[in-house]
Structure 1
């Protein structure tokens, strides 16, 4: 089955207030989908429902085989192993090398074999063009390089779906384009990528499927 996300008549609440109403959509493997809208338009709230940070109380929703309205707390780590999440502010651990940033995530998600951990980290760093920088500390890297580490961290468990929440928000235009191209290339490998942004300069770099978020309503652009 190529379908990774299916929402039917979903209303999303933040503090009991509806922020997205009557959302129906499907996303398949290999799709790159923009989520376009102003800050506060519901993009992040939608992404939070996908990784179990906000409950789905109204409607039917499925992500990577998990029934979100009936998602149990103990199931959330298993759901998140199928996802890669990239945030605007990188969220790297500043007290350890970027190698150990990835190792920390892998240990937390069940990896035990040191040789396999090392092999996978080097594979991922090659994918995100960070070869030779494994022992650098986060503060020694540029913003773009730190976001590449964040993307690498999202890739270590070989996710089916990558959720990128304003991943270029703290980057200059040239670096933003590099990150966009990297995520687009990842969608070409069969993963689905949801790319939330309010930056029209980034959005206009290349056309792809687009969902707009505005006043609680999600519309797909033709």
Structure 2
């Protein structure tokens, strides 16, 4: 699918959701945190569940972030969520990839303040998986990192991941996952807004093992 086709598909699906939810609780949509050029090909993909927050900043990208990676504070300032930005940038550094070259986005493009408040979550996730099946078919990343329990489960299923192993992350009993899919390696992380493991000293040995060999794939 071309970028324009993807954008139109999302917009039509969002308008259908508006018709089904006239209460006005929907908060727009957002797909990529990177420039749209990553849709043509990317070594690394990073996928969260859906955009959060209860308001929409009109200066932020919707389909893509053409000014650069939205995870850079100089591009977007997320205020209370700036720790997430720092954590994700550290993830990209560990993978030895420029943030602007990462296929970074949301499995579900529809915004909600929390996962629990995502309207028709089952239908939204099904739509997102269909959309990303097409996106990944074109971009063909060899490393796919997802974040958060639901995103990890759904992305692993979408990719057909097997040989999954668990890795402690140096934060109590919490673990990350690593597995294989036909075109590469999948990593499933706990949500980096709650588990700031990327720069945390007690987590470094575990992360080195988790990401071993992925900085040059």
TM-score bracket, normalised by the shorter chain, equals: 0.3 to 0.5
Structure with the bigger RCO (C-alpha within 8 Å, sep 6+) is 1
Q: TM-score, normalised by structure 2?
A: 0.33
More strand by share: 1
Q: TM-score, normalised by structure 1?
A: 0.32
